[in-house]
Amino acid sequence: MNTKKTIAIALALVMSLAMLAACGGGDAQQPAPPAQPSAQPSAQPSQPAPSQPAPPPASPNAPIPVPDAPVGTTGYYTDEVDHYARPSYHFIYFNYRPANIIYQVLDSLELLGQKYNFTIEQLTAEGDADRYISDLQTILLRNPDGLVIDITMELSSRVSEILSENDTPAICIFNKPIDANGSNLVPALVLDQIQNGITQMQFLANVYKDYWGDIDKSKINLLIMDWSANLDLAARGEGALQEFERQFPGNTHFYGDTSHDTISAEVGFSVATSILSANPNVEYWFIVSTVEDVALGVGRAVEALNMDTSKVLATSSGAAILPGEWNAGYDGVWIANYSAPPVLYAGYAAFGLIAMADGRATMANLWDEHLDPGDAATCLVLPAEMMSINNFSTYISDIAARFGI
C-alpha cells in the first residue's frame, strides 16, 4: 500500500475518533447549575511504549508485521492467523451505562471488525444493575461468539458466576472485576490506577513553572475530584495525593467526592464549584479528576466562577472527550490526560476474543503470561502516557496503525 493511502487511513481514523469525542458527550457538554454537595478539605483521603506504526498488509489475510511485539503468546495483534479462513464472528459489547468512551470503543471495534472478519453489536443496561444481570443471561442464550463487557464492582461475582456457566468468551474493560478477596475473576483490560494518579501529578509538577514561573510552591493547593464508590477510580486519586505530598510536603489539598451522583460533567461542575468558591484565597490550583466527564465539568466551573484561569492547571484520565475539545478550539485549564485511547482497549479486546473464539485460548488462560498471583483470570495493564494538545493526534493514530486500521 502506498504512503499516501497509509496516511489517509490514519488521518481518517483520527477524524472519526475526534468527531465522536466532540459529539458523544450529549448533555454532558452543558453542566447544570451548581448544587451544594458536601465536600470538605481532608488531610487523608481515604509499559510498554507505543510502537511505530507498520504499513497495513496488502491482503486482509496477511499478518501485520510489528517490530516490537508484546511479550506474549496468544491473544495479541501479532498472532499469525488467517482471519478469513473461518466464518465471521459476531461479538457483543454489553456496557453498564452509555458514555463518551463507550461509543468510541464501539467505533474502533467496528473498524477492527471490517479488517479482521467480525461484527460487533452494542447493548446497554442503562445503569440498572438488575437489568444488567437479566440482560446478560438473555444475551448468552443467543450464543454470541464473544462479549466485551464493563461492569461495576458490585456485579463482579455474579457476572463471573453467570459466565462460568456458559462457554461464551468474555473480556472486561476499564474495571478489574474482583471478588471479596481481591482476586480478578474475568480477563480484564485496565490501567495501572495508582500510577495513573502519580503520573498526572508528576506531569503537573514538571510543567507548572512553564505556566506560572518560579513561584513560591507552598502556595499551590490540590483538588482531587474523586469517585470513592469505585476502587479503581479512587486509586487514581490516591496516587495523585501520594505524589503531591512527596513533591509539595505540607501543602493543602481538598477532596471532592462525586460518587453521590452519576458520572457526568454536571456532578463535576457542582462539586468543584462548591469547593473552589469556598476557598477564594487559594492562589494556585492543581486539579486532578479521576474521569474525563467530571474534568469537563471542573473546567466549566472554573470559567463560571470567573477565576484567574492562568493560575489553574487541570488533568484527568482518558482520551474520549479532551481530544474533541481540542479539535473544537479549547485552550483552557484542562491541559492533559493520562491516556489509553479507546482504540487501545478495543484492539486488545478484539484479538483476545478472537483467540478464545478460535479455541486457541480460554478465559482461564488468556494472556496467562501476565497472570498475577491469586488472580483467577488475567488483568492486563495497558500501556498509557500523558496526552497533551501537542501529541494527541499522532498518539491516537499511531496506536490505530499498530492494529492495522
What is the pLDDT, as a whole number, of residue 185?
96
385 phi and psi angles, rounded to 5 deg: -155, 170
**Residues in the chain, overall count:** 405
Q: What is the pLDDT of residue 9?
A: 37
- Global pTM value: 0.80
Cβ atoms of 245 and 45 within 8 Å: the answer is no
pLDDT at 230: 83
Q: Are residues 104 and 181 in the same domain?
A: yes
Q: How many CA atoms are closer than 13 Å to the CA of 182, on its beta-carbon side?
A: 5
Is residue 246 included in any domain, yes or no?
Answer: yes
**pLDDT (0 to 100) of residue 65:** 36
Q: Give the model's pLDDT for residue 12.
A: 39
Provide mean pLDDT across the span 179-202.
Answer: 95
Segment 211-240 mean pLDDT: 93
Residue 210 inside a domain? The answer is: yes
The band of 55, judged by pLDDT with boundaries at 50, 70 and 90, is very low
For residue range 102-134, what is the model confidence (pLDDT) as tens digits? Answer: 999 999 999 999 999 999 999 999 999 999 999
Residue 62 lies in a domain: no
In the predicted model, is pLDDT for residue 4 greater than 70?
no
Q: Higher model confidence: residue 194 or residue 70?
A: 194
If pLDDT is split at 50, 70 and 90, which confidence band does 82 have? very high
**Among 73-77, 120-124, 334-338, which stretch is predicted with the lowest mean pLDDT?**
73-77
- Residues 325 and 201 both lie in one domain: yes
Q: Is residue 326 part of a domain?
A: yes
- List the domain range (segments joined by +) for residue 260: 193-339
Res. 302: pLDDT tops 90: yes
Residue 246, all three cell numbers: 512527596
| Domain closes at, from 339, 356, 381 | 339
Mean pLDDT of the chain: 84
Co-location of 234 and 325 in the same domain: yes
Whole-number Å distance between alpha carbons of 56 and 80 = 14
Beta pairing class for 312-317 and 284-289: parallel
Residue ending a domain, choose from 339, 361, 381: 339
Residue 40 domain flag: no
pLDDT of residue 71: 52
How much is the pLDDT for 72?
63
Residue 34 has pLDDT above 60, yes or no: no
CA distance readout (Å), 260 to 36, 175, 239, 266: 12, 19, 22, 12
Residues 329 and 356 in one domain: no
What domain count does the chain have? Answer: 2
